[in-house]
Structure 1
Amino acid sequence: MAADFIKLDQFLKIINVVRSGGEAKLIIRSGEVLVNGEMELRRGRKLYDEDIVTIEDTSFTVHIST
């Protein structure tokens, strides 16, 4: 069974916003990442289908395949 979520740092790597977990940690901790319109500082934040992640002025919608 596939997971019904993905962690924020993994998602940022998949969409090629960052190249590593360390880079993801820095961008998240700097307050540059919004999840569903709210600042998110936890790199382990669980994202679910249809969550919206925004970095700068670009938004990405999470799609979980099950």
Structure 2
Amino acid sequence: MQRIEFPLDRDHVELHHLLKLVGVADSGGRGKMIVASGDVRVDGAVELRKTCKIRAGQTVQLEGIEIAVVAAT
């Protein structure tokens, strides 16, 4: 499984934006489609809310990719 570490420099990022920012989706719209497919898990649970707020300490998984969201230093 490929692991990506994403440094979060604010309180939260919306899930579909996170997918775009790490390069999993080529646009926010494509990120929304990926979330709607039911293939995205946040902290191990399927997440269907496209605008779910992702905060530092959370993990997002999909299609053999794990995104670890960490606080920016």
TM-score (norm 2): 0.80
> 2:67 pairs with 22, 37, 60, which one?
60
What SS class does the counterpart of residue 63 from structure 1 fall into?
A: strand
Post-superposition offset of 1:63 = 1.9
| Percent identity of equivalent pairs | 35
> 1:35 pairs with 33, 39, 42, which one?
42
TM-score (norm 1): 0.87
Quote the residue 2:13 is aligned against: 6
Size of the alignment, in residue pairs?
65
Quote the residue 1:16 is aligned against: 23
Q: RMSD between aligned alpha carbons?
A: 1.4
User: 1 or 2 for the larger relative contact order (CA 8 Å, sep ≥6)?
Assistant: 2
Cα deviations by residue, 1:4-57 (Å, 9 ceiling, x for unpaired)? 111101110111000111101111000011000000001100001010000122
CA contact 1:52–1:59 (8 Å) conserved in 2: yes
**Misfit runs of 4+, over 6 Å:** none
